[in-house]
Amino acid sequence: MTDASRGRFEATVSGRVQGVGFRWFVLDRATELGLDGWVANAPDGTVVCVAEGERRLLAALETSLRSGPAGSRVDAVRTVWTAPTGRGGGFHIRSLGHGGD
């Protein structure tokens, strides 16, 4: 049985989001919130973030993605919510163009 208070999303963030510390910003925020997942630069210039945890904490991370760090410009965040996988392991930065999991 899946705990309804938990969720998972994959968000693609577009704008000026590479070369401005965006991944480190996401890593810090997700770690602060106690979420699992990863963030990576994509070859098309976007940043992809996959996060899992309590839905209310995921919503807080999604809000942070929409603002970004100083020096960034977020034009759009496309978020797809899915069922949690239950994988733990903390939150990490993945290499450029990571194919996902």
Q: If we measure between CA atoms, which residue out of 2, 13, 6 comes closest to residue 73?
A: 13
Distances (CA, A) of 94 to 5, 26, 31, 69: 27, 12, 15, 19
Q: What are phi and psi of 76, to 5 degrees?
A: -160, 150
Give catalytic status of residue 41 as yes or no: yes
Give catalytic status of residue 94 as yes or no: no
Of the candidates 23, 29, 66, 87, the residue annotated as catalytic is 23
Of the candidates 6, 8, 16, 41, the residue annotated as catalytic is 41
CB 88 within 8 Å of CB 6: no
| Catalytic site positions | 23, 41
